[in-house]
Structure 1
């Protein structure tokens, strides 16, 4: 994985380069230590861009937005000391995938980059499946088991919702595949009992899954605030969450009212429907 670092502090650039190289996370293909050059970034075609939020001249959100507008397909990790909900929402709307907080923490950087790498691998797998369908290569589709197709659909939905890098994403996948394999609904088993069947620490599993769903709700609400007609928003908002909770989360991001409540059971029911659609 090719990584570009947009940061005005040379010492931070050195720390990030050392973390990337010593942990085999990828290759640093360039940095903005000698000055920000968007053309250079586009020419180097990185897979991932680490970008500082607060920089002289253009801030990180402007950099991400302009690169996205110019067709840069890279993933973006924002490095920030700022924890303002409004600023975080703006960053996600601009196209940021994850946040890393300052001061730089080795474990956090390593985990977030690994999450991004896994998300990219999931998206590549899904693209392969989509290409097969697009080209109508029926024999190739038939060779794939039904469960493989269902798994890819769930992976794609989790990626679209900004959840693929969350620890609870695997737990959600395991729950969905268990139910799909047995042709069961959540109401037939119950979330607590389902986690008990799949994990030696069912409460921890359920908590991870709930946190991941909360992340998905926040991401979806942010998309809706930016563009109510956003394709991801319209596809998932009413199918995976009670829509009144999506509206509540949107209001919360704007500083009005309480957070929306992420309903894990409702989310799992919706994912099962999505996985089985023809």
Structure 2
């Protein structure tokens, strides 16, 4: 999981720790099943981060924001790679796997035109599902 986050350029982001907690939770509790709602996943990560937190919903929202920023950062990182070298193997592998093509294209256009005010949208559930499935494949392959 960490090499993937490193390739996506987000290993040091605050949300990467939350993403790792979510994937660990899925590996322990959902063994290949469809993943639960994002809200449940955010709250599971919040429980690990702050086990005695009185307001789990508030902590879950904080986790959501950190993850959203981290996934946006990964999209920006890949879009920058794509602008520099569209044939880069990292870009060719990760961009279509983790993100919708139109989101990557839009982000590349935004960067190319020096527009940074667009927030853009990313499919967090798709990102987490793909990371979970890739991690699950590696765990099963090595075990």
TM-score, with length taken from structure 2: 0.79
Alignment of 1:9-88 (within 5 A): none
TM-fit CA distance, 1:218: 0.1
- Of the two structures, which has the highest relative contact order with CA contacts closer than 8 Å and spacing of 6 or more? 2
Select the structure that is richer in helix. 2
**What is residue 250 of structure 1 aligned with on the other side?**
108
**What is residue 83 of structure 2 aligned with on the other side?**
225
Select the structure that is richer in strand. 1
Separation (CA, whole Å) in 2 of partners of 1:185 and 1:155: 22
Alignment length (residue pairs): 123
**What is residue 274 of structure 1 aligned with on the other side?**
134
The 8 Å contact of residues 10 and 73 in structure 2, kept in 1 or not, is answered as yes
1:204-238 superposed Cα distances (whole Å, 9 cap, x missing partner): 01110110000000000000011111111011111
Separation (CA, whole Å) in 2 of partners of 1:242 and 1:259: 15
TM-score, with length taken from structure 1: 0.42
4+ aligned runs moved over 3 Å, structure 1:
256-260
**What is residue 99 of structure 2 aligned with on the other side?**
241
Unaligned regions of 5+ residues in structure 2, if any? 47-55
**What is residue 193 of structure 1 aligned with on the other side?**
40
The 8 Å contact of residues 249 and 259 in structure 1, kept in 2 or not, is answered as no
Unaligned regions of 5+ residues in structure 1, if any? 1-153
- The equivalent position to 2:122 in structure 1, one of 258, 262, 265, is 262
Query: Which one has the largest radius of gyration?
Result: 1
